[in-house]
Amino acid sequence: MHLSLTKALNPGRLRGRRNNMISTVSSITGAILLLAVSVMEILLIAGLPLGEFTMGGRYKVLPPLFRIFAASSVILQLFGAAMILQGGGLMNMWFAGKVIKTICLVFAGFFAVNTVMNLISPSKKEKFVMTPLAAIEACCFAVTAIFV
């Protein structure tokens, strides 16, 4: 009885669960945000007037060349969503843990730079909507990378 109580009250065991929960919440949050932005990008590709949320708000409707960039962005975001879910232990691993950690750190850096770029954007919509999303993404990828 005493041994099982000691195991149950082991702070290291609880810390492991807490870290697992933090990583899980972080990876799910990051993946959901990436999927939401991917949907917005798909709507931009379809020609909806959401251009003020991207690329400095230069175009309400993206020209054809920029729609190709948006399509490549969707592919990158879906890859990022898969990587962050793998880092959080919610998907089977495509890559080794160290590779996932590195990918998550690269995405964290990308979104940190993206946060700054959105913050200095002339578009108010991009500044006030996309800046916080990019900052949260940077944090989610960084936190997930820590716990891989």
Range with lowest mean pLDDT among 33-42, 47-56, 71-80 = 47-56
Which residue type occupies 100? I
Q: Which residue has the tokens 């993404």?
A: 137
**pLDDT recorded at residue 84:** 97
Angle among Cα 109, 97, 135 to the nearest 5 degrees reads 25
**pLDDT recorded at residue 17:** 55
Distance from C-alpha of 7 to C-alpha of 12, rounded to nearest angstrom = 10
Q: Which residue has the tokens 């700054």?
A: 116
Q: Which residue has the tokens 């990308």?
A: 110
What number of other Cβ atoms are within 10 A of residue 118's Cβ? 23
Percentage of residues in the chain having pLDDT higher than 70: 87
Distance from C-alpha of 101 to C-alpha of 109, rounded to nearest angstrom = 12
Q: What is the mean pLDDT of the chain?
A: 88
- Report the number of secondary-structure helices (H) and strands (E) in the chain: 6, 0
**pLDDT recorded at residue 115:** 97
Mean pLDDT confidence for 85-105: 92
The pTM score is: 0.85
Q: Is residue 123 within 8 Å of residue 56, measured between CB atoms?
A: yes
Tell me the two tokens of residue 59: 């175009």
